[in-house]
Every structure is written in structure tokens, then in C-alpha cells.
Amino acid sequence: MKKKLSSILLLILSVLFSGCHRMATTPTVDLSRFTPQPSQTAVEGIPAPETISTFSLDPETERSLQLYPLWVGSSWVYEYLGYDENVEIIWRVVETVVETDVVEGHYVAKLEREAEVIEGVPPEGFEYAPDTGTVWFLIAGKNIYRFDDQLHTDLSNAWLDLILPFPEPGDAWYPDPDQRASDEPDLIGSRYASEPFEGKLPMGGMYTCYNVAMHYDDRTEEGTFCENVGFVYKELNIYDFPYGYRSELVGFSLQGSEAGEN
């Protein structure tokens, strides 16, 4: 069963990082203002929503959206394996940007995640099932913040998921706002990216990719991010226990530019 994910494992380095996501929830944004938007225009070859194109996005935000095309309608399909010492379950996970807006000058994308079991029967309360529901990404120049609970605009109290382009190898950042506010943050919890390398996706195409990881003391939690696509692989492995998950990209559609699926 695990062989279904072996093709992408060559892209991954053995590095450590933490998966603890802390999201502040105040002040919140009125989510009723979000409306679906068409995707007809382009920014340097990457399709963009027509409504958003009427706003003046700063060059750093536009560059971030080229590297991670969070335009409305973009969709990613993953094969997700969750496992423990007793079972291995496979899901098909689909992530889709369903709405976008500009909030207080920042580009915001609302992403919906759905999952369907395609092999196995997950036991009740299975801990390593894929997350589903709504996620928001707020792009402020190079910084991409992630909100799993409620969207807000106090970025000093928000989870800093990515910095694009990535910092130089060896330069880490702290997603957790408490660590960013600390004068002497622990190394555990810091996130960093490898040197870029050319990676070929299973569905075809060569891309500039990076191994992205966080330091953690009892697990590996890492992923591979490819420019102009997004995350193509994620993995969590708990040390000393056969617990975790692996998620591999098997197809994507970016504003109508479709890639095939395995």
C-alpha cells in the first residue's frame, strides 16, 4: 500500500519540524463579505480572478501568488495515507480555492478541503485522518499566513505558514506568533527550506522544488513545495511509534491549466 507514495519520496530530505498550528481568533473578519469570483485574467502567465485584478496588489504579493497560485478555482488532488500500528487507510483529498477577496489591503483566499475514503475502514476517532473543512490564507507581500479557525488581520498573532520566495538555506522563520514575539525563541518550532532542486512530478512536468521542514524533537514533519504548483508531498512520522500520514499530489488544476492524475 505504501508503494503508492514511493515516487515522490525521493524529493524528501530527513529533517525535523513541528506541526502544531496555533491560530489567534481576534479581531475576526466578517466572512459574509467573501463572494466567489471568476478567473479570467493573468499575472505574468498565472491566471488571476477578474475581480481581484481591479485591485492594485503589491509586487511581492503578486510574486507570492505566482509561486503559490491561490487563485479562485485552483484545485489540488492528493492521495493521503493515514496509519497507526493497526491499520492503513487511504483517502482521496481535494483542496479547492473557492473564494477570494482583498481585506485591509491583503489578498485572502478561502480554501475548502474534502476527503473520501478509497481504501480501508478508519476506526472511530482515528487520529491521523486528513483534516477537512475551511482554511484561509492571507498574503501580505512575501508572508503567507494560515488560519484554521477564524480569519483575522492581526498578523502579529497569526500563524506564518510560508515565506515566498523562501529564505536562504539556513535561515529559518517561526510560524508560531508566540515564538516570533520571543527574544530568544527555541530552535524547535522553526521552519526552513532546502536549496532549490529540479523535481519531476509523477503526473509530468519539471519544477523548481524545495524540501520544507520544521524542527521538532519527537517526529519528522516535512513536505516538498514546488514553485507554480504548491505542496506536492507532506509527511508526518512519530518517532518510536508507527503513527503518522503521507500525502502525495496526484493531480491539479490551476485556473483551467489541468494536469493529469495517476
Q: What are 36-82's pLDDT values in tens digits? A: 433 333 333 334 444 455 457 899 999 999 999 999 999 999 999 99
How does residue 242 score in pLDDT terms, banded at 50, 70 and 90?
Answer: confident
Query: At a CB cut-off of 8 Å and minimum separation 6, what does 146 contact?
Result: 21, 23, 135, 136, 137, 158, 159, 161
Phi and psi, residue 126, nearest 5°: -60, 120
Among 133, 55, 65, residue whose Cα is nearest residue 98: 133
- Which domains, from first to last, does the chain contain? 2-252 (2.40.360)
Non-local (6+) Cβ contacts of 178 within 8 A are 22
Q: What pLDDT score does 255 carry?
A: 65
Percent of the chain with pLDDT over 90: 62
Share of the chain above pLDDT 70, in %: 76
- Which sign does the torsion angle of CA 69, 70, 73, 79 carry? positive
In this predicted model, what pLDDT tens digit does every residue of 135-173 receive, in sequence order? Answer: 999 999 999 999 998 899 999 999 999 999 999 988 999
The residues that bridge with 39 in the sheet, in sequence order, are: 49
Q: How confident is the model at residue 185 (pLDDT cuts 50, 70, 90)?
A: confident
Report the mean per-residue pLDDT for the chain.
Answer: 80
The pLDDT score that the predictor gives to residue 183 is 85
